[in-house]
Structure 1
Amino acid sequence: MIDLAALRTEPDRFRAAFAARGESVEVAGLLAADEQVRALKHRAETLRAEVNAASKAIGQAARQGGSAVEEAKAKARALGDEAKRVDEERDAAERALHERLLVLPNPCLAEVPVGKDATGNRVVAEWGAKPAFGFAPKAHWDLGPALGIMDFDRAAKVAGSGFVCLRGNGARLSRALISWFLDVHTAEHGYQEWQVPYLVHPQCMVGTGQLPKFHDQFYACKADDLVLIPTAEVPVTNLHTGEILEAETLPLKYTAHTPCFRREAGAAGIGTRGMTRVHQFDKVEVVWFTRPETSAADLLTLRGHAEVLLQRLGLHYRVLELCTGDTGFASAHTYDLEVWSPGTNSWLEVSSCSIFTDFQARRANLRFREKGGKPQFLHTLNGSALALPRCLIALLEQHQQADGSVSVPAPLRPYLGGLERITGNAAVTG
């Protein structure tokens, strides 16, 4: 959520920031609504003081006797009724303003390139080289089933389109990636691992920015008022909702593996074929709670933690800095990591590393306090490190061999009992 105090003092900066995102926001209307709320608050405070004074006047009138008592009581009742009416009007105005603020995006940082859409993104780094094959490389939707490690037909049988079953060495490889990601983050980068609920209160989705704007993109259990998480970002970021963290504990660095559930799997085509875009997938997330003055540098550190995984897996990738028109709703600055898919001759996003400034902190009430100081909103960051479906796709496709097997990257072999090459599973019968 944006800072209303900053909007009052720098309306032109916010107008420019919203316009850079391609958003049409009536800033003057927001300021007018804010002024109305503040005026009603002032009126309510004045009335409360008048009600208190009128109540005291009843006692004084009682000592005088006569009609003064009834007059004092009538005045107190009238003021009380007016105070109640103003309180109700103020509450309604506050709710209306809050609802308007909830759908406003986070202004991008000044260094973010201005652009209309994905065409305005810029490549800021590239690692490795596209693998050279002496044969026509297969796409994962051919390679996986041929090895017996991927089954789309049986997934469709039990859940419909947009799902995949991994079996045998495919399931083992997926589990190995998850375990290795978590081990690197905790042992080398100082993250604390969490296991978190996969179902959350809708308010948690408000806190991280998915709701109310993107309400149609998630699976909801309406009978229990719970939502299936689209990313571990949601439960992990909300772990400290309503708390005031001590400054010396920052940054807090958390990591978690969860399945992720998303209703929108995209239109039919090469971008959704196989397991490129599915309704359920596994992902390891990293989340930071940090100080405002260090958050920009922290974003580069977080990005490096995701990049090192791709490098050790020997996967060719590039880093995109997203432009204003392609930056996510809650983010102020985002880098995407994209791996090369030889089977489709395209780039696949496996990580999105973002800084949210105090946008999520204001929505989720995440604060910290310097010793002897007042509470203030902290900054949050997060990133996928990494998302499994596309990371697995790139691994299979970039490390495929001429005989149809797949070479297992060295870091994963200890998690697979020393397995160096995936050559397939026995076929499922029946």
Structure 2
Amino acid sequence: MIKEMKIALRNAGKINPNSIDDYINADGYQALKMARQMDKAQLISTLEDAGKLRGRGGAGFNTGLKWSSAFKAEGCEKYVVCNADEGEPGTYKDRTIIENDPHTVIEGVLICAYAIGAKECYIYCRGEYEHSISLLRNAIAQAKEKGISAEVKVRVHSGAGSYVCGEETALLNSLEGKRAEPRLKPPFPTTAGFRAKPTVVNNVETFAAVPAIVEKGAEWFRAIGSPEYPGTKVFSLSGDIVHKACFEAPTNVTLRDVIFGFGGGVANGCKLKAIQVGGSSCGFLTPDKLDTSVDFDSMRAIGRALGSGAILVIDDSHNIVDILVGIAEFFNHESCGKCAPCREGTLRAAQLIRNIADGKGSKKDLEQIKDLSEMMGMSCFCPLGQSATAAVTSAMELFPEDFRAKISKQEV
């Protein structure tokens, strides 16, 4: 079994998150000093070409390419935004990183600010994460007091709990005081982001890995995990599993390693029925996929997504339709309403799934769900609507017997 390896969580349990001195004594901010002595283009290429650090928020975009685009963009007013909104159900990795080591996130943000020439940075944090917000603000004040942040201003913005703010342009709208709705792309944030200026938006976990890469080098990072998605990934385990916690491991770790190794296996002596990797916007997997590596490309190769790294374990005591009710109602609640296909589609999907779960559904409802899913995938404005029915359609394919058990007898 692959052992746990910590990069983003390298200081977890080893330092006092309220103490900048503890962080400095653990070689904190050394990478920032190194970065500020490097040519900016050279620093970016460390991540872009050799390091291959790909975003850990879900999209998997090459971090160096994103930084390079903002660096090359015209204009002297540029911004760095850290996405700490973390609205995906079952995901708590960013909160775990911040509450154990807020300074590593700030150091990553400051390295990015130097690389692209930004003088102003924002950490957009989920409003419910009051402790995380307090730790971040304390860490920022400490870094400023010691002169570490230099002329760069770093602020924490408390979000209002909108799931759609996981999409970077919706987050930027919210940060500007506007309604949190996604923007049309292009232009992309790296050329026209916050206040229409070049902006880098990265996830907490991505920023947390940057100092280690700068300090230890791209070759070191590239040698860890999957060749095309190197490094480590922090997984949030929940559901019917013995150990519900965050674990960080090399990206070539398998589902079997995560669930039965780090997670301790299925709880209460039950059997594994389904696994949902990536959060509620992702499809289900069955136990025959346990030996699949949990990296971005391996998940995509089997028609699934790594997403945020949330892993929900479901045992054989559940009917999958009952779980789908909560997922469908979540997306109905979280749709921003910008486009009709999502606004009306998530509502109708929730109604259909609820009817089936309550024993009032029919075979026609199943056909409607399939048609609805296809329509939303093609016509919804952003990934929220496009993936809102991913869990439902995958469950229909993998667990048809659960739906048959719920459909009214006269329809069977």
TM-score (norm 1): 0.22
Q: Identify the structure with the greater strand proportion.
A: 1
Between Structure 1 and Structure 2, whose CA radius of gyration is higher? 1
Which fold has the larger relative contact order, with Cα–Cα distance below 8 Å and residues 6 or more apart in sequence? 1
Q: Identify the structure with the greater helix proportion.
A: 2
